Each structure stands twice: as structure tokens, then as C-alpha cells.
Structure 1
């Protein structure tokens, strides 16, 4: 057996090397065969039918054709009114006008985006064992829909998804398109949990890059490049060096949320400002920067408040808690901590005007966890603060603090509600301060009595352990909260007290502040989960300062690194350079842009053949090449190679217009054929490879969902935005939440959105959509399965959403003169026959109209496109 396998592989490798594989041959436009058909598609198809002694089937009737083209182009059925208008029109180009209308509909982009989302494995969670939610995956989906609706030239469509952040001047908003590279599953636990520099972390990074390059090459060039990870591809001319050159392209990026702008000018400004942040450390010793920082500090110093300590006169505790006044004028509360307490602190000041009061809560070794609170963990809860000037309440307008506990912010101390409070968890063990600004400046004298009341009534000994109260009459009392405390000290210090280290810290803060202020002038950006080299580090997950070194790994073994790989692509495509000429000091985006340009090059024979085959596949249910992701020697060969090349060349020369391609296909006689079987054609096989009839296709899960909503009149056509969560969720045991689809309210508005906008969970899919062959978003899905099972029928009959929608359809139909016939018109696109009307009317009278609707939406005629 081993000898036979070895001899077979030797023979195969010899035969495979004899000539250039069909998919790698130069792309030349073949002559159109002579025929009676005006559409070249029909000329190519009819020629091969003629060679096989076959012919086209009769055209489908008008009702079947319009239902077919509606579902193909927008994923929704035509209304009875639309069908009637089409049937009764006398316009000679009625079909062309109809197709143009559908291609111009915003529903078209939604329909074809869903196909593309299958290919790229779009979902909104990471997958793997920690299937965390991606809150910002959806902007990529919205970009995709917009690009398809706007008929973006395919070259730009490709380039944007690989390097959109590098071509924003040409393709506005294209940064969101780089979400493509992050669409697939992502092992967040390895990326975040494994320490940098370790072998395991390097393996995780190699695997992540493998995912990016595999998705890119299978999507755009229909190649199985990942098969060359350990050795040269056994069947296709892809070398180990090619594979690691592609790895090197993605060596500088990771997957994380990144900012993006729609307007090119804004995006360029933001990119420049973000890039500046990497050079701040190098600039702090620049004399020019030091001078600017010094001038900036002098102006800032004028705004910093001068605080005067309260001259303490009386300190009262409602719980009679003992206290000590320390030399720094702070008050330390001692003894057993009560559950609750209220402090009354009175005093005077030498100021003649009062604008704000500062309450400092300070650490002390005598307090739990060093304080500054008296709770066991060192926390405190300030429920309310009140200030009286000579027994008259002084209204507080606003409050600020240097730190706020989540849900226990400082404004809770002035909201008049004693059940809310200011807290500092988890920053116990540190001193903090809060500033309370009066509604209006208050005129006072040194004899004015000032009383501060601090309510701490939450319980659990959440009390202030040590505090100090200061007063100010400054115009900007909370200015110091806008800068770190150590910077404020440097600014307040004299020049002689500022060391070189202090001046460096001041310059660095100046650069960061100036940069932040400039960023703040820009419109708020969006966020998209994509590839980026600029993100905030989370534990061990840190951005690469420059592209990581990628070694060619012998047999794919991390322990056997060979030479460093240079960025590049495949060596097997004629007239295309396989290794990119990139300056050594260029940023990582230059690498991705080089690959994007390589993919979109007019001479890239794989790119142009791949996309026309994908489009053909979705229209006919089978591509000219039946393996859309594999144009290699282990994939299928094209059934109509000349047609494939003619479409590829013409599509490229037409500017890469996908709408042109759709129109060319759906207006062909090939597409218009009936789906009826012809026994005389069965002798050449049942797969209909030569297209002697149209293939009968089942509605996909999304079209079933959307059609049912269309029939009930409840379809929400709102476009874009965060995805609709058609489930309830609660915190799970680990990262992945616990989802409940079964008991989700079927009348929740989230259910009414088009299914392209539904939230897709990788590891916990929607049971109904899964039963109807929705693909696993963790796997490549160039083709959907199309099964027929009893489970599907049970799901269609019993799913709560479908049962409820059947009731809504019945409600919509009940006032019709003939509700059963109207149901047939809307669901099937045709009137019912006399026997059908009679049978269903009888059923309706016995079991109700809603149950009749359930039978219709579970019938073959509803579920299949003729």
C-alpha cells in the first residue's frame, strides 16, 4: 500500500509539473462562440450544450423568474402588486428595468453582504474557549453593505479590506474595511494570557497571522496557501518561502478595537496625531519643546488654585467617634468604627471670597489597608456633603474628584439622595481628593463661620478615616484635577527647584496634553474591531512597536527557525513580483498596502477569476469551478473555462463593477431557464454541470426569516448600527455568557430586523438558523450546505418566532376578501388553484388561519426558488 501511494504521488507530482495549471495561465479574453444569442454568457453555455447534444430548457414563466431574481438580488420576495405590474407591462425592456431597480435598492447590498460574510466568517464574538463579545465588529458589516450598494470598483473593494487605513484618501472610511482581517475566530486567552517573549506566545502569534493570511488568500485568490506552512505545497506551486513571506506582511498587526473616520482629512489628521505619540520620549530634551512646555506651564500656573486650610474650631461626630488633629491640619478618626456616622466640621478662613471647598481623604497606617476609609478593605462612602456659611446653606453646583468608583461617582455626594455615595474602590490604600464648587462666589470675612457636614450613612463602616479640608477663592478651583498631582507640584515649584527629571516630565506632559487637545478638536471617531498596531496594552497583549521578525520555520517547527522572511506573496503568478520592495524603516501598513496592490493588480489572474466564480456560484448554486476557495490542483476544474476567462477579463475591463456582472448574469437565457427536469438529459449526470436547466435552490435561513417578516408586515428595514440581539443573556461561568434563544420574546423588536443585522455568536448559534444550514462562523464557508431533514420541518412548525409570525400574518390577512388566495399570492407569488383554495379554506375553518399560514411557510414551494 505504501509503495502504491508513493508511486501515485510521484506520478502525480510529475504530471502536475508538466504544464501550467489552468488557474495560473495568463488571463486572455477568448473569442465569443457564434450563436443566435446576444448575451455572450449564452453563447458559451449553448456551445457546450451543443457539443453534448443538448439544448437550453424552456424559459421559466414570468412569475417564477421575478421571484427568482428578487431573491437573488435583494433576498426578499416581490409583492403581488409588483408581480402584477410586471405581468401586465408591455415595455420591451421590462426585465432590464426591473433588474436595474433591484440593483439600485439598498436591500441589494444587504443581500450580497450576507454572502460575503459567509466567506470571511463574520461573527461578533471571538470563538474558542473564551467566546467574548466583540462590541465593535458591526462597522465592518456596515461598510461592506455600503460598498456593495455603491458598486465600489472591485480593486478598491479588495485593497480596502487588506489596507483600508492606508488608502483613506482614495477610499473614504476604508479603515472600517480592515475589519475583514479580524473577522475570523481569535484566541484571546492565548494572546492576552501568555507572557511576551515566550515560545507559547510566539506560537500564538504565528497562528494568528496564519488565520489572517489564509483568510486573505482563500477569499481573494481561491488558494490554499496554508498548506505550505510546514513544507512546500504538495500539489500547487506555493513554496514554504511564499507562505512565510505572507506571514511577514502581517507581522506588525494584532486584532483589537481601532478608531476610524469617514472623512479622509479627519482620518489623516488623527493618524498623524496618533503617530506623534510614539515619539514623545525622544522629544523631551529638545530645547524648543522645553521652552514651549515652560511657557505653557507658566500660563497654567496662573489658573491653579491656591488652597487655604480650614482654621478648625469644632469637630463633631454623630457617633461620638474620637479624633485627633494632626500637625498637617488633617483629622484622624480613632477607636472602634461605627456602622454609620456624620461629621460636622466648623472653622474660619483668612480668605475674603469662597468659590470651592476641597475634601482630601488621606491614608494612615492606623486605618484598615492604610485607608483612607474605615471599611475592612479601606473604602469609604460619602453619602452627602452640605456647606453652611453663617448657618445659611451654600448651594454646590458641581463636584469633581481625582478618582471615582464605578457607579459611586462624586456627583452622588451632591444629589440629595443618602442611599447614593462617592466611593474609591478599588483604589484603596491611596489618598484622594474631591472638589465641590459653589453655584456662585461667596463673600466672607475672617469672622465668617463655615460648617461642613459629611453624611456617611451607607453602613458597613464605610467612613472617612482621615481627612483635611481646604478652601479657595480661585476662579478655576478644579483646574488641578485636569493634570496629575506630580505635574501640579512641578508647575508650582520655582525654576531652581525643578530638576532635569522634573523638566522632562513636564515636557512629556505638555506634549501629551497638546496632542490630546488636538485630537479633541476632531469629530468623534467610530470604533471597529480590526487589525491595528496602535492600541492600549491589556496585560500581556501589547502592540508591536515595529513589525515582529518572522522566521521561516523548518517543518513549521517554532524550535527550528531559519532565515528571516521578507514581506511578499506567491511566486507562481506570471508578471507579478513575489517579494515586495519596501523600505526598511517604513511602517507596517506599507506591507499590507503592497499585498493589497498585489491582490488587486490587473495581472493577478487568480483574483479576477475567483470573484466572477463566486458571483456565479451564488446565482446558480454552483460555481463554474465548484470549489470556490480552491483553484488548485486538488480543487475542481472549470466546467466552462472560456466563459470563466471571458467574464473575468470583461469584469476587470468594465472597472470591476459587481452590479454589471450581476446584470449580465440574471438577464441571460441561461439564468432564465426553467428548473423542470428533463429525463433525456440525465444520461450526462444529475449535477447539471452544463446548465441545461436552472438549478432549483432552497431559500437560505436569512431569506426565510426575512420573508416571514415581510409577509407579516413587521420587517424593520432600518439599516446599520449595532446588531440585534435575538436572545437573552446573563453572565456565564467564565467569559462566554449564557444565552437563551428559546424563551426570547418573539415580539421583541430585535426579531424584526433583517437577519443580516442579527448578532452572531460563534459557539452558541441560534438553533433555528443552525437547523436551516447557517454556516459555522468559525469555519470557512465558501459554500453553504443545503440539507433536507425532519428537524428543519419540526423547527419551522414549532419555533416560537415562526408560530408568532404566523399569527401576525393571519391578522394581516383576516380582512382580505379571500385570505387564502391572498396568502398564496404573497407567499408563492401566484394565485392558488381551485382545489388548493378549497382544501386550505376547509383547513382554516377547522384549525384557524394562523395554522394555515404555518403550513404554507413550511411548504416546498415557499422554501424553494423555482
Structure 2
């Protein structure tokens, strides 16, 4: 029996409906208020997937919702009483109520209120926000005109003011310099750098520091960590034997690209289709190694047809999440249940990439590294760039040889000899790199339910998803066409996706918090107009990554304190308004880099082969085909940055795993952050951290003064700020306890000092060095040490 308007009101009151979002709150917006409810509670049975659609009813489109189906209309705009949807969501009959009880879904009173009021207001549908090309919105007016440092701040402040709140104050200058150093280069500032910034009160002090960090060679290393997560970069094949493969030149390409500020459109095109560019350079061929980063198998018994299907599907999944923040993997077996992606779209994209030569992959074996032809032998793009610099310097020096006296010429000759030696050394650093080779495209069929044995599906022509702007060309759509399509000015997703991830890197959350899902199951952006403004700014800047990064970190929003006031804790506990900065643990690689940096062990060489830090013996015991043992590096590679750590997919380095680094089997747009005893024990006992503490302790003992003076020096060296009296007291007590313990057990002191490769100064007392090492271990393990504030 259909409810009348009066009955609807009775149900509303009885269910507490009026306690939800009041109609007085203003016009309801479909994308923001209604789509999330329908997507969560209704689309599975009444959405895009035609195979699962019940009662032939679609609620994801306006046409489907208002269709007259034998006298029943789900949604009658303006008339909740005539709408079947209202009757069914308010029904108390278990056989009539929607969602049905067996679905495990249930509408809250507030959600029912929103649906009814939406219909009352006209049931207007909107195209999903992520599929509409962005346009530059007007910058909002704000009351506090003194606070914004630019347009970003005006968007942020307008939301804060609308909520009746105020931004957080600026962070203190010590916190600011640590924040921006970790965010832009992934390393801590030195005490001298902190002092210089704190004492520099000129108006452009912040901007000059930002520019210097953006120009640092370490900026590319920091940015590469996140990109390598996205493209699932690893040093091993992943499946079965998980053998090593040759791909480190691609990692160096990524680092160099960020350092050079390579335009993002060029960066994208070179990776997806560098091999298809006219007269492709060696660097562009290396970039095309992106297409080879997926997991592969070199087990002799694999079914070639099955694995070709696996590889093709993997590429579509990764492509869609990296550049579209799309979950196209859901369409491998059926039409997407929540978004417009169809199975046809999924396999049409496979067809675009069907020219990638995967047949040679099956010829690989159990060697380390395995062969994954096609491969090229080449120099790192970083080494190539340095060689070019050396050649320019040699030309200049040669021109100066005829000038000056004998002493000056001898100095120039020494410089020439040194540079020629460096050049010769670099030219010998050839490495193998998997690249993409285009062959005659394989025939791609739509695989019903993703079954590689089922050949009943239609042959697919290459195409992009049907609901997005289409590629206008005659002939076959290629990977180069696909890459260029991503960079079209009217593409709704590419620029939005990337600037949203940049915001995440510098605030701990994206403007759209679902970093890998811009679809109906993802969260509506908290600041959609700011997201679009940044997306347009990115495109109009010529896809200039550093430009957008600088805009973000120059904002007052970025410079806010991360301390939470009681009002913000109560009114905005999840920091949706960005009325304060985020506070979050450093990524795994940076935690290790920080310890190496403050100890003085860090080797800052950029690029090169993968490094192998200390690792527990026997960790690789279960790796077969071939069996292998892990040998840690006994040279400077031991102390290189975490971005260079050998990435074994099946047995990720334990330190990285303890701090939530991904195995990189799939795209990772957001790392989880856990808090476990294993992480705490890693900080205390991993040989890298023990050795870093010991080397740092040597530096402590080189300082003149009392124990208190040394503790204060240590605290500032690691944390950049002055230690408080209670902090000094705690460490002084720890030092006293350890001195006492090691004086009665000098053998234990010797064991502690025997960790790692760095030599122990003979002139230092073992008891004293061990005692200070224990103090340094404690400081390196502090939450503040591993947290970006």
C-alpha cells in the first residue's frame, strides 16, 4: 500500500528522520548528497552492471529512475508521494523494503530524509563530478583578507569561515623548516640550516628556501618514492620464483624527470609510449620500461595464453588507477557495478596495449637477473646528464689552458684529469633495462567473466572508455594516441588526479580523499572548486609539477600549525576543512634516511643500482628457482637512500614492511599507517638503526661540555629544536642507568658496538660509547623523530 504525504511525515517523525540533514540546510546536490547513498545502498542491484540489474531498474541515471515501468515510477521529480522509491525505503514489510535485508545494507533515517527531500526538490541528477571536464572557478571572497597568501588560501578560508571557524596559527619556524625539508627532499635540515632560517626575517625567506629545495637533486628522490608506488616498481618479477629483473634505469629516469621538472604530459607520454615516438631517444626507451613493471612468471610450466591475459589485465588496472583514479579492474569480469566502465571498455583498453611484446618474457629463466627481453644496455639518464656536464666543463677548461701562468695551467690540467677520470668511470656504468617493443598487436577478445579459456566473446577494437572524450582519428588507436588523449585539455581526470595526490603528499589527505577511486564509491571532494582550480592551473602552466608544488607549499594553509585546538577537535576531528596542517608518520624510506642523515652515515649519491641494506639471515630461505641467499652491501651502497633499496616483492625488506611500505604488486596510491610493536622493535634493533645510533654517539662524544650539554646537542641535532628540562632529565637518567649496566657487563657493550660496518674509534671507552649509543637509540626511536608535523 502506497504511503500518502501525511503517512510519510508520520514515518519521518517516528524514525527520527527530522534529526538528519534538514531541508533548511539548503538545496540538495546530487553528486555530494545523493550519489554516495545510491552508490552504497542501491547501485549493486540497480546500477551500471546490466547482468546483475534487478527489476530492470537503473538508479544511476535520470532516465532509468523516471522510467514508467508498467505504471510504477521509481522517482517522480517533485512528488515523493508518487515515487515508488519512497514507498519502498519506508516500507516495514521485509519483502518490500529496500534495500532488502539480505543485502546487509540499511538506510539511516538521515539518508531517507535526504532521498525524500531530494525528490521533493525536483530529483535533479548530475553527471559524476570526475567525468566532467574541470573549468577554472571564480576565487571566493573572504572576510579575513589579511590571512590568504594566494588563491589557494581563499578557497580554504572560505570553507573555514562558512563553518564559523578560523584557521590555525602559523607553525613555529623550526617546525616549518623540518616540515618542508621532509616534504620536498625527504631529509631533515641541519642545525645550521635551521638557525639560518629562524634568524632570517626577510619577507622572501620562505620562498627562497622553497626554491632551493625544489632545485635540490634530492627532490626527485623524494617524489620518486610515491610515483614508484603508483606504477608498482620493484626489482623482482613477483610471481613464482620472484627472480630479479633489470629495471633500475627506469627508477633513475623517474628521479631525473622530477629533478628536471619534466612536464607531466611529456613524462606520461614517454612512459606509456616512449618507444613509439619518432626517433625515440635512449631515455625515452628507458621510460617505456613502465609497460614492463608488472608481475610476470618465469616458471617453465605456465600457460602462455593464461599469462598473456594476466599481463593485459594488469596493465589496464594500473593505467586506470595511476592516471584516471579509476577502478577498472572491476570490469575485467563484468560491467562495473558502480561506475560507467563496462567490460567492453576494459578489453578495448587491452587492445590499445596489445602491441607490447610479451612473448619474449616466456623465454626468461631462473637466472639472476632473469632475462626479460626486449632489453637494452644503457647508461643511467642521471649519468648521461653528468657526462654532458663534464664535457661542457672540459670544453671551458681547454679554452683556459692558454691563459695564465704555469701554476694556473697546472691547476687546470689537474681539473681536466679529474673530470676525464670521472667521465671514464661513468661511461663504464652500463646496465640492462627492460624496454617496450611494439609488434603486430595480438587479437583481444572480451573474456566473459574474465575466463581466458572462453573464446566466445567478441573481438575488441582499441578504444578508450566510452563515456569519456573520445580519440578522433582514422585507423587503429595506439598507445601513443592513448597517452596524448590523457593530456587533452578537456580530459576530466588526468590533471585532477595528479594535483589531488600532490595535495595529499603535503597535507596527509587529498582534497578528494579516495586517492585511487574517483568513482561513485569514492568520497566527494571536500573542496571541489579548489581541486578544479588546481587542475586548470596545472594544465595552463604547461603541466609544470614544481609550479603546483610551490603554489601549495607557499600557501598559508600549508604553513598552519598541526596542533589541534579543542574547538577543531570537536567541530572538525578529521580535518576536512584543512583548518590545520596534517601530522603523520614519515614513509618507511624516510625514517631510515633520517637516521642515516643525522648520524652522518648517509651517502647522497643520486641514482645507481639497487642497494641491499642489512637484513636478517635466512629471510630468503623459502625463495626457490633458484634458491638464494641475501648478501648485504659492504660498501657505500649500505648507506644510500631508501628509494634505492632492493625491492623483493615476495620478501620485502623487513624494515620497509614494518613501516607499511607496499610490496608493489599493484598500484598503491595511499600507504596504510600502522602502529605495531614490530615497528618499535625495528627502530631499536635493526642493524641500520643500531649502527646509526653508534655513529651518532661518536659525534656526541666529540662535543665538549658536560653530559647535559651533550644531551642538548644530540636533541637538537636529531629534532632541530631545543630540549626541555624534563626531556634532558629523562635522557640523563637513561645514560646513568646504561653506564652502570655496561660497567658491570663490558661484554654486552662490545656486542652492541660490533654491529655494522662503520669502524669504532679505538680511543673511545667501550662503556662510554655503548652508553651513549643506548641514548641515541632512544632518541632515534622517538615518535617526534619519525613524525612529520
* TM above 0.5: yes
Following TM superposition, by how much is the alpha carbon of 1:789 offset from its aligned partner in structure 2, in angstroms? 1.5
- Which digits, 9 at most, give the CA deviation of each residue in 1:375-413, with x for residues without a partner? xxxxxxxxxxxxxxxxxxxxxxxxxxxxxxxxxxxxxxx
- Pick one of 252, 259, 275 that aligns with 1:165: 275
Counterpart secondary structure, 1:219: helix
When you count strand as a share of all residues, which structure comes out higher?
1
Counterpart secondary structure, 1:551: coil
- Which digits, 9 at most, give the CA deviation of each residue in 1:457-481, with x for residues without a partner? xxxxxxxxxxxxxxxxxxxxxxxxx
Following TM superposition, by how much is the alpha carbon of 1:42 offset from its aligned partner in structure 2, in angstroms? 0.7
The match for 1:570 is 465
Tell whether 2:615 aligns with 1:725: no
User: Contact 1:168 / 1:174 at 8 angstroms: preserved in 2?
Assistant: no
Distance 1:204 1:858 in 2: 45
The match for 1:140 is 250
Distance 1:66 1:6 in 2: 46
Tell whether 2:180 aligns with 1:91: no
User: Contact 2:684 / 2:690 at 8 angstroms: preserved in 1?
Assistant: yes
Q: Identify unmatched segments of 5+ residues in structure 2.
A: 1-38, 49-57, 63-125, 362-371, 385-426, 739-770
Tell whether 2:111 aligns with 1:224: no
The match for 1:207 is 310
Following TM superposition, by how much is the alpha carbon of 1:830 offset from its aligned partner in structure 2, in angstroms? 0.6
Counterpart secondary structure, 2:458: strand
- Pick one of 475, 478, 491 that aligns with 1:582: 475
The match for 2:711 is 820
The match for 1:735 is 625
The match for 2:723 is 832
Residues 82 and 230 of structure 1, relative CA distance in 2, 3 Å threshold = same
Residues 5 and 67 of structure 1, relative CA distance in 2, 3 Å threshold = closer
Q: Identify unmatched segments of 5+ residues in structure 1.
A: 195-199, 268-521, 534-544, 584-589
Residues 51 and 527 of structure 1, relative CA distance in 2, 3 Å threshold = same
Following TM superposition, by how much is the alpha carbon of 1:201 offset from its aligned partner in structure 2, in angstroms? 2.5
Distance 1:547 1:759 in 2: 33
Following TM superposition, by how much is the alpha carbon of 1:630 offset from its aligned partner in structure 2, in angstroms? 0.9
Counterpart secondary structure, 1:54: coil
- Pick one of 240, 252, 266 that aligns with 2:343: 240
The match for 1:62 is 173
Following TM superposition, by how much is the alpha carbon of 1:816 offset from its aligned partner in structure 2, in angstroms? 1.1
Tell whether 2:186 aligns with 1:75: yes
Counterpart secondary structure, 2:346: helix
The match for 2:488 is 601
User: Contact 2:42 / 2:59 at 8 angstroms: preserved in 1?
Assistant: no
The match for 1:703 is 590
Residues 107 and 598 of structure 1, relative CA distance in 2, 3 Å threshold = same
The match for 2:444 is 550
- Which digits, 9 at most, give the CA deviation of each residue in 1:101-122, with x for residues without a partner? 0000000000000111111111
Tell whether 2:520 aligns with 1:633: yes
Following TM superposition, by how much is the alpha carbon of 1:125 offset from its aligned partner in structure 2, in angstroms? 0.4
When you count helix as a share of all residues, which structure comes out higher?
2
TM-score norm. by structure 2 comes to: 0.69
Residues 825 and 5 of structure 1, relative CA distance in 2, 3 Å threshold = closer
- Which digits, 9 at most, give the CA deviation of each residue in 1:724-765, with x for residues without a partner? 122579897731544458xx58x6533201111111101111
- Pick one of 508, 512, 532 that aligns with 1:621: 508
- Pick one of 757, 771, 780 that aligns with 1:857: 780
- Which digits, 9 at most, give the CA deviation of each residue in 1:804-836, with x for residues without a partner? 211111012211133211111111111212332
Residues 683 and 8 of structure 1, relative CA distance in 2, 3 Å threshold = same
Distance 2:153 2:693 in 1: 42
User: Contact 1:176 / 1:530 at 8 angstroms: preserved in 2?
Assistant: yes
Greater displacement, 550-559 / 785-794: 550-559
Following TM superposition, by how much is the alpha carbon of 1:161 offset from its aligned partner in structure 2, in angstroms? 0.8
Residues 669 and 169 of structure 1, relative CA distance in 2, 3 Å threshold = farther
Distance 1:7 1:800 in 2: 53
Distance 1:5 1:113 in 2: 35
Residues 262 and 566 of structure 1, relative CA distance in 2, 3 Å threshold = farther
User: Contact 1:105 / 1:149 at 8 angstroms: preserved in 2?
Assistant: yes
User: Contact 2:249 / 2:380 at 8 angstroms: preserved in 1?
Assistant: no
The match for 1:391 is none
Residues 837 and 168 of structure 1, relative CA distance in 2, 3 Å threshold = farther
Residues 260 and 164 of structure 1, relative CA distance in 2, 3 Å threshold = farther
Distance 1:169 1:831 in 2: 57
User: Contact 1:182 / 1:212 at 8 angstroms: preserved in 2?
Assistant: no
Counterpart secondary structure, 1:862: coil
- Pick one of 10, 18, 25 that aligns with 2:132: 25
Distance 2:288 2:600 in 1: 36
Tell whether 2:541 aligns with 1:647: no
Following TM superposition, by how much is the alpha carbon of 1:553 offset from its aligned partner in structure 2, in angstroms? 2.5
Following TM superposition, by how much is the alpha carbon of 1:564 offset from its aligned partner in structure 2, in angstroms? 1.7
User: Contact 1:172 / 1:263 at 8 angstroms: preserved in 2?
Assistant: no
- Pick one of 644, 664, 682 that aligns with 1:777: 664
Following TM superposition, by how much is the alpha carbon of 1:721 offset from its aligned partner in structure 2, in angstroms? 1.7
Residues 8 and 88 of structure 1, relative CA distance in 2, 3 Å threshold = closer
Following TM superposition, by how much is the alpha carbon of 1:526 offset from its aligned partner in structure 2, in angstroms? 5.3
Following TM superposition, by how much is the alpha carbon of 1:26 offset from its aligned partner in structure 2, in angstroms? 2.0
Residues 169 and 40 of structure 1, relative CA distance in 2, 3 Å threshold = farther
Tell whether 2:646 aligns with 1:529: no
- Which digits, 9 at most, give the CA deviation of each residue in 1:344-397, with x for residues without a partner? xxxxxxxxxxxxxxxxxxxxxxxxxxxxxxxxxxxxxxxxxxxxxxxxxxxxxx
The match for 1:259 is 376
- Which digits, 9 at most, give the CA deviation of each residue in 1:512-558, with x for residues without a partner? xxxxxxxxxx999853124334xxxxxxxxxxx52111112233333
Distance 1:23 1:804 in 2: 49
Distance 2:509 2:677 in 1: 25
Distance 2:788 2:165 in 1: 24
Distance 2:776 2:662 in 1: 27
Residues 525 and 45 of structure 1, relative CA distance in 2, 3 Å threshold = same
Instruction: Please list, as runs of the form range in 1=range in 2, the aligned pairs for 1:499-514 lying within 5 A after superposition.
Output: none
The match for 1:177 is 287
TM-score norm. by structure 1 comes to: 0.63
Residues 115 and 241 of structure 1, relative CA distance in 2, 3 Å threshold = same
- Which digits, 9 at most, give the CA deviation of each residue in 1:115-140, with x for residues without a partner? 11111111100112221111x21000
Residues 553 and 66 of structure 1, relative CA distance in 2, 3 Å threshold = same
User: Contact 1:568 / 1:580 at 8 angstroms: preserved in 2?
Assistant: no
- Which digits, 9 at most, give the CA deviation of each residue in 1:50-94, with x for residues without a partner? 111122111100000100000000000000000000011132100
Following TM superposition, by how much is the alpha carbon of 1:716 offset from its aligned partner in structure 2, in angstroms? 0.7
User: Contact 2:445 / 2:455 at 8 angstroms: preserved in 1?
Assistant: no
Distance 1:564 1:11 in 2: 28
Distance 1:822 1:177 in 2: 45
The match for 1:16 is 60
- Pick one of 604, 609, 612 that aligns with 2:499: 612
Q: CA RMSD in A?
A: 2.7
Residues 642 and 581 of structure 1, relative CA distance in 2, 3 Å threshold = same
User: Contact 1:131 / 1:736 at 8 angstroms: preserved in 2?
Assistant: no
Tell whether 2:550 aligns with 1:663: yes
Following TM superposition, by how much is the alpha carbon of 1:144 offset from its aligned partner in structure 2, in angstroms? 0.2
The match for 1:47 is 158
Residues 8 and 662 of structure 1, relative CA distance in 2, 3 Å threshold = closer
Residues 260 and 647 of structure 1, relative CA distance in 2, 3 Å threshold = farther
Distance 1:5 1:780 in 2: 24
Counterpart secondary structure, 2:530: helix
Following TM superposition, by how much is the alpha carbon of 1:203 offset from its aligned partner in structure 2, in angstroms? 2.3
